Every structure is written in C-alpha cells, then in structure tokens.
Structure 1
C-alpha cells in the first residue's frame, strides 16, 4: 500500500486499516488510527508509520479522541514466519519486559544488533521502543480501569522505575498519570485488584463470536475451563498459568466491536502477557477483510463466507497445553488435570486447577510423556516466536505423533493461518488462508471438528 492509498483510507475513515498503519499530523504533534473521526488533515501535513512505537519515537503523542494505542494488532504478524513477524509476536507476549533484548534475540537465533537493525528498518522502531509503546498502553488501561496507586501501576505495566513511567506517559499521552486517570471515559474506574481488571478486547471487521464459543464449549476441559449461559450470551472462563503468577479470565460472547473480559491476576505484571494470549485464543488480530475477499471468490466457499463473514480460526491461550490436548483428546486431558494439575488455592466456580506443566506431565506414560519431556527441555518450542517449520519437524520426530495432530498444533498453538491437514487436497487458491477455509467447512458441518 503506497502513501496515497493510505491517505485515501484516512480520508474515508476506513476502520479496516486500524492497526495496519498509523498516521501523524505534523501541525498538531498527534498520531491517530486511520478511522479517527477528527477533521481530515491536509496531505502535506501527514506522515505514515507502521507502528505506534515509530510514531512515538518521532515525537508524536497519541490522539485522545481515537485512542490509537487500543486498536487491534496488525494481522501481518500472525501471517509472517520471518524474524520480524516472530519478533513482534514475542514482544506482544512480553518477552522484552521479562528477558530484555538479549532474551528476545536469543529466542530468535539472531544477535541483538541484527534484531534491532531488522525491526528498525522495517517498522521504524526497535524492540525497546516497541515494548515501551506496549507498556504505555498497559499503564493507561490500569490507570483508567483500576484504583491501583500510581506507583503500583508503573511496575505492573513493566516500567523499571516511577521516573521512567512518568516520562513515558507524558511523552505518549501529553498528560501526567494522574491527569490520564482523571480523563477516564465515562468514569469507568470502578475496578479494584480483587474485582479484576475489566477489558475491551478490540477486533476489526465482523466477528462470529458464536462459532468461536461453540468450539470452546465443545473442547472445554473441566476444572480448567467452563462455558456457561444461553447461546448468544455465554461466558467463557478459564485458568491461566502466566510468567509471574496465575490468572482467571471471563470473556463475554456478545460482540460489540469488542469482547468484554475481566482478568483476575495474582500479579498484575502479567496483564500484557495475559491479554496477548487471549487475543490469540480468540483470533482478535485477524484481518477478516483479506480472508473473506480471498475465500469468498471460491465457488465452494462463497456461500459459507456470505453466511458467516468474519469467521475466526481459534488459537490457544497456552500453546503447550494445546499440544497435549491435541495429542490425547478432551477426556484424557481431564484425567491428566486431576492427576498432575496444580489445584487453585481457592476454587472459582467450576475452575479448580491449572493445566499441568510439561515437567509434571513428563512423569506420565506413553506419547504424552515424550511430548512433555520435549517441551520441558526445549527440544520442541511452541512459544509465539517459534519457527513453525522447525516446530513441525520436531513434533513429527516424537513417538505417537502423527501428521494430523501436528497440523492441529500448527494451526492452533502456533497460529498458522495456512495449514492443510495431510489427508485433504486443498486448492492453492485458498492460500494463505487455508486454516480459515477449513474452519468454514467445519462450522458448516462439512468436516469433522478437529
């Protein structure tokens, strides 16, 4: 997309491109999402950026009207398997905050200098700036939805010091933390740590929430997950194992341009990671316009796409958990939870356990023990930055692992949008969205569920 096309998207306030690029106005010092409702600036005053971090790095602050930091992530990072796409997925999972740039580079198999150079060349911002933009968004959410003291917000959002936090908030939002909190829209600041953090999980385009909730309900592992309520008003709840602690999340089925969610975390430093994992589970960063355009041109799929525009391909809240479940099935997964899962300190409704860690499952018998051992020692990597081809090869080398199971893991745990099971001959015209094509066929009852 060239800059003239981007400007036309801005002039038409086209929400399809929110998160795909950002624009800034040199005369105001503000950057926005393409669908910002403000008066369209003159073309000569507009600059375009691939990321919010790049706009911030050039001295622009976030628009208070369109809140560009709250847009869905770019679908490009889910599709791409190169180092930039893998890096963006890892940064979204909070790796830079936990392990630094050296940790990010180590996971990617590159030097820190190479990662810095590639990200800056393509996105206009390096890993530190990209993580900083993510931290500032997390801080805004906490300031405007909780009563946490400002000092606790700073460290929960991942800042190393209160001074760094204050400077970043002023730079990004042109406000002090207290001013940003006072400007919370509609005085939504009703949450306390014990009540959880309320979230609006944004997505672009149409979203078939009922189909996603049908999948989650059919697959739910008792003790770890539950789906309650009548169709159309269901709530999905599950436990989460996170880097600093644990969590329980509840997500409402009703789509409003976003999904309402509430997170209860034992350590608020896990907020960024938990949100990223929920976004992958519900496939919220997908580009339904691109998917539907390609698949809707196929005679077999056209009526299915017309019936369910914006159908998503669900991912996983925990990729290692998904791999085990794909291998053993729901009934055996429930048995593993009872035997090896860690019990919650206080059960919450039907939620009683965390799914077992790989190290614990290595004590089990058969293929699941081999898979768990490979996950525990790093022989198989399924984190957001894992190389999908390497992971597939490592999985296929394990005893009891067949190509069909690996295809499910690649689709769900690794978020690959273009996976074809080995027993199906799918047309090349469905590329690069074959995972979505199969989801259409399953939802329509033309294929068996995974």
Structure 2
C-alpha cells in the first residue's frame, strides 16, 4: 500500500531537520511537542525524536497551535518563503500585502478589497495553505516587529506596543508572552545582558540583520544599484572590491506613516560572514518598521531560493558556467513600485547613466525634501500625483516621452495601474501596455522589478541580445529557463558586462 502523501512529505522534512538544512528555513517550521517550542529546520539544538515533531507551513500556524518561538534559532527572523513571493495567485498576493502591513493599517476587509475577494474567501484560502488566517499572520509579524524594537531601541514598552501595530498594551503583553515565553521587559533585559559594555552611545537608527537563504551575490547587486543610483534619494559610498571598505547603499523611503532612510552594508570580501545583510533603518515613525523591512527585502531580493534557480538555469549547458561563476545572483526588486515605473520610462532609449541623470533632475524639481538632509540624501521620490500634470520642462527628453510619463503617473494616481505588493501581475502589465508610450520592454521591466515577477524575459533588451549572442543562443532558449527567467536576464546582463573566461570550468 502506498504511503499517504502527507506522511512522505513530513518524512522528507524530518530528514532536512536531521541535516540542519538551512535551505528550508522559512519554507516550513517544526514544533516539538515535548518542549512546546517551534524552530526553523536548521536549528542547532539536539534533533528531536520524530514522534515528537509536528510540521507547520508558517510561524503563525505554529503559534496558533500553542508553540513558543525557540530562543536559539529565532524562527520568526527567517527569510520569507520564496514560494509566496514567486506565486501570482491569491495566497501569494495576500502574503505580500500582509508583509507590507496592510492588515494592520486597513484590516482584513481592506486586504480583501485590494485582492478583489471577500474576507471569507481570503481567510479560507490562507488557512488551507498556511494553517493561519490573515489576522494570525499579521499578529506573528507584529510580534517579530515588537521583539526587534524591544531589543534594539530604548522606546518605552507602551510606545513599543503601538509602534509594532498592536491595538492595546494588554494584547501586546499577551502576544509576547505567548510567542516568546517572556514578558516584554524580560526580552529587553536579555538583549541588554548580551551587549558589550562600553562608554560609547549606540548609533542612531534600528540595527537589523536581514536574513537570506543560500549564497548571495552581493557584489553584483551593489554594482546594479550603484550604477542606477539617483542623486538626492540614493547614494553608495565605498569602492567595489576595495579591501576593508565594503560599500554602503543608502536610500530614502516613502512610507505609510512617514519617511525613512535605509542603510545596507555590502558584506566584506572573503568567507561568508553569515546568511544576512547588515541594515540600519532611520524612521520618522516607528509604525513603519515592518513595512520598511519588507521593502528593503524586496529591493535586495532576500527571499529568493537560489538553489531552485541554480538547479533550473544550470540545467542548460550554455547558462551553467554563468550560474557557477555567480552563485546566488539575485534579481533586484523595487522599494517603491511607482518610483520604479517612472524610472523605467525615463530609461527608454537612453543609457543607464543618462536615465539616472534625468531621474536626479526630476527629484530636484518635484521630490519632497526631507526635514533635514542626511549626507547626500535630500528628498523622497515625487509621488505620481505630483507628476501627472507637471510640465516636466526640466527634463531634456522628447515630448513624446514626457507625455508618456504624465500618462503613466495619472494612471498610477487614479488606480488604473496598480503596482503595490499585492497587485495582479498580468493585470498590471496589461494596464501598462494600454497606455500610450509604454511598450513591451518598459512593461516587462516594470513587471520584473516593481511587481517582483521572477519569470520575466526581455528579448528586446540590448544587453539580453548581446548576452544571448555571446552564448550562441536564441530567445527561444528562454522557454527552458522558466519559472526563473528574470534571473537568467541578470546572468546575461552580468555576462555582457564581465564575460567569463572561456577556460573557466
């Protein structure tokens, strides 16, 4: 008799736990009935007996079953599941919106309205696939945000509760005790006990370690962002590959409650220091913490599954050397969808450097100034509504492209085009293509980055054509690279910029 599918799947998960396989962190969670604790698969604790293990598809499901988060492996801080970010269905879209804080700001009704479904349908599908509804999933995220604030800031506990999105201090206290088996004060005291004592005050901002799974090609993503950095809203300090001085990428963020500045540090050259990027967030309103974290994660593609990407792309002998040469290559997303769309239109028919200069001019003329400049950061990117009726005379580009930019911004402002984390990707691309002046390259590039689609190919892109020619491949070859064609595009772009020597294995 065949074994039930669930039993076979759980046995495979248990094998991943026995080997402490970090590839599965965030893909599922294990709970131990004998201790009442849930962990990530790579937890360094002694492997529990199979009979005592239960598996859950989300941290919220484990918490809902009464399990507490492990203090050693911190399962609430794992990378997000690559599946939910890659999927374009209701569950994937809902998870991206919950991560962006929509449930905390607009409630389940607001989430359902954005998705175009009833609240009951959204709850049912999330519960079926993740073992928890939208309220429980948002609660798990609030608990993680609260832990970060308690352990990295001196904000009073009462203010921490509301900054993390809790409706009351009682709800906050009950949740923290249920999830971490400690009171908020005990969580804060434990973090302080582990810090080295010294006379120097802690630097401003909230320090974070943004986890990722597998190898991470940091040099390539920092190169990509540095080449496209816009004066006023982005800056990159340090030289690529310079010993002892890794780069620092900084940018401004427009957030639901205020503004922010994100600083992300490039890992130093040499052996991997850990499966995370060091980040520091400066926020005018701490209620924006979880939203800011998710937007940085999307920009740096931190929830990707590099193992699945490498397995598919490496199966093509033409791409295999490229994949081997740049393990963990990411497909950068966007910190702000409308901003990325505007940048894409500015980049039509011009070089990357020229597009960055045009965007800098746009920011200086129409961006919202920060309350106080911070280094080279002076503005947040202009909102679409501010550009929809603007003359844009400052931009030295053809009138047709100015009209296309105004048309796009009007569509973004009135909701004809939606580029939020939960937007339907097919509908978004169709709406873009319906606008005068938006062609397949622009719509595809926006879909790849603003909507985070991992399976976009750009056959008309000059760099892609050059990369295909260098590999002696045709655009038809991309059909075999699904569902990771966006990553193939980045391999082709990088290969064009820095070809791999032919004698490289």
Instruction: Give the structure-2-normalised TM-score.
Output: 0.86
On the 8 A contact 1:146/1:192 being kept in 2, the answer is no
Which residue of the partner structure matches residue 223 of structure 1? 232
Which residue of the partner structure matches residue 289 of structure 1? 307
How far apart in 1 are the matches of 2:484 and 2:478? 11
Pairing of 1:238-277 with structure 2 (within 5 A): 238-254=251-267, 256=273, 257-277=275-295
1:441 is displaced (CA, Å) by 1.0
How far apart in 1 are the matches of 2:424 and 2:54? 34
How far apart in 1 are the matches of 2:256 and 2:318? 44
How far apart in 2 are the matches of 1:46 and 1:130? 22
Aligned length in residues: 448
1:383 is paired with a residue whose SS is coil
Are residues 1:187 and 2:195 paired? yes
Which residue of the partner structure matches residue 173 of structure 1? 180
Which residue of the partner structure matches residue 411 of structure 2? 374
**Structure whose alpha-carbon radius of gyration is higher:** 2
5+ residue gaps, structure 1: none
Q: Is the alpha carbon distance of 1:221 and 1:81 closer, same or farther for their aligned partners in structure 2, counting shifts above 3 Å?
A: same
On the 8 A contact 1:194/1:264 being kept in 2, the answer is no
Pairing of 1:14-413 with structure 2 (within 5 A): 14-184=21-191, 186-187=194-195, 195-232=204-241, 233-254=246-267, 256=273, 257-329=275-347, 330-364=356-390, 365-413=402-450
Deviations 1:302-331 (A, max 9, x none): 001111111000010111100000111322
CA RMSD of aligned residues (A): 1.7
Deviates more, 1:260-269 or 1:424-433: 424-433
On the 8 A contact 1:251/1:259 being kept in 2, the answer is yes
Q: Is the alpha carbon distance of 1:13 and 1:189 closer, same or farther for their aligned partners in structure 2, counting shifts above 3 Å?
A: farther
1:266 is displaced (CA, Å) by 0.2
On the 8 A contact 2:458/2:489 being kept in 1, the answer is no
1:192 is displaced (CA, Å) by 8.7
On the 8 A contact 1:143/1:177 being kept in 2, the answer is yes
1:188 is displaced (CA, Å) by 7.4
How far apart in 2 are the matches of 1:188 and 1:126? 40
Deviations 1:215-259 (A, max 9, x none): 000000100101111214000001100000000111101163211
Instruction: Give the structure-1-normalised TM-score.
Output: 0.97
Q: Is the alpha carbon distance of 1:357 and 1:248 closer, same or farther for their aligned partners in structure 2, counting shifts above 3 Å?
A: same
On the 8 A contact 2:16/2:41 being kept in 1, the answer is yes
How far apart in 2 are the matches of 1:204 and 1:160? 33
Which residue of the partner structure matches residue 503 of structure 2? none
Which residue of the partner structure matches residue 443 of structure 1? 494
1:187 is displaced (CA, Å) by 2.1
On the 8 A contact 2:457/2:478 being kept in 1, the answer is no
